[in-house]
Amino acid sequence: MAHGRNAKGGRSTPPDKICETCGRPFSWRKKWERDWDQVRYCSAACRAGRDNPDFKPR
């Protein structure tokens, strides 16, 4: 899992998070570099899904 991604002296990527909608872990992406602190869903579908009570992942 934690497979030596942090090169010494370089920038390491933040740890994985768990999606609040589907409960699966997802990894940091470049597009989230500015607001990773606020990212709580693995995808747009999951972000939309949290507002939809009928949404059922898997």
Residues interacting with Zn ion, by CB under 5 A? 19, 21-22, 42, 46
Between residues 12 and 25, which has the closer beta carbon with respect to Zn ion? 25
* Shortest spacing between CB 9 and Zn ion, in angstroms: 33
Q: Which residues of 10-45 are buried (b: 16+ CB within 10 A; e: fewer)?
A: eeeeeeebebebbeeebebeeeeeeeeeebebbeee
| Residue corresponding to tokens 């899992």 | 1
* Shortest spacing between CB 11 and Zn ion, in angstroms: 26
Between residues 14 and 57, which has the closer beta carbon with respect to Zn ion? 57
